[in-house]
Chains A and B, each alone.
Chain A
Amino acid sequence: MTLAAQILVFAGVFVVLASAVGLVRAKNLLTRLHFLSPATTLGAPLIGVGLVLVNGVQLGSGAILATVVLLAVTSPILQSATARLEARRRGEIDEDLPA
């Protein structure tokens, strides 16, 4: 069980680090925002599931799962808000359209 947990956690860490490389290499903000997604929607759940395997079924595992699920749900909202901000700054948003 520990080996599976180690594989999951280090896979998650690898995804986050690969996202970091992509973030640095991206040319502009809208491209950069794409690289935030794998870290939160793939890397974080991988690490969370790995830690749950270490803990077994208990209250702490629920908190870990709640944390990674919250991270995966809230992050796209933030990316959308940031992208909208950038698009407005560039003048690429039709202000008459509903938000």
Chain B
Amino acid sequence: MTWLFLAALLLMAGGLGTALWLAARGTAIERLAGMQFAGTVTVLTLLLLVQAYGPSSAIILPLTLTVLAFAGTLVFARLLGTR
């Protein structure tokens, strides 16, 4: 087990678990916080996993996810605001 995989594992266990917990509880607006945290943790985990195992070209995946998570959360915020 490389130290990069260990860091990714810690992030997945502690971060994604918490994000799922937050995204599954409370009102729709409160769940947005969990979704934002899930996006952040996933981007960081992908960065570590690509560094550990992936081809260097796969670094585009977390970069793309950052932009998509931003746009997706903004759309959710917009839709929840008009309800």
Partner of B32, one of A59, A60, A82: A82
Q: Total number of A-B contacts with CB less than 8 angstroms? A: 121
Given A23-B22, A47-B48, decide whether A89 and B70 contact each other with a Cβ distance below 8 A.
Answer: no
Interface size of A as a range: 35 or more
Once the chains bind, are B63 and A70 in contact (CB under 8 Å)?
A: yes
Once the chains bind, are A78 and B43 in contact (CB under 8 Å)?
A: no
Main secondary structure of the interface of B (DSSP, over half): helix
Once the chains bind, are B29 and A82 in contact (CB under 8 Å)?
A: yes
Residue of A nearest to B30 (CB): A29
Interface size of B as a range: 35 or more
Interface string of B34-56 (1 = CB under 8 A from A): 00110011011001100100001
Instruction: A23-B18, A59-B56 given; name 13 further pairs at CB < 8 Å.
Output: A9-B3, A9-B7, A10-B7, A20-B15, A20-B18, A24-B21, A60-B59, A74-B66, A74-B70, A81-B73, A82-B32, A85-B80, A88-B81
Residue numbers of B with Cβ under 8 A of A are: 3-4, 7, 10-11, 14-15, 18-19, 21-22, 26, 29-30, 32-33, 36-37, 40-41, 43-44, 47-48, 51, 56, 59-60, 62-63, 66-67, 70, 73-74, 77, 80-81
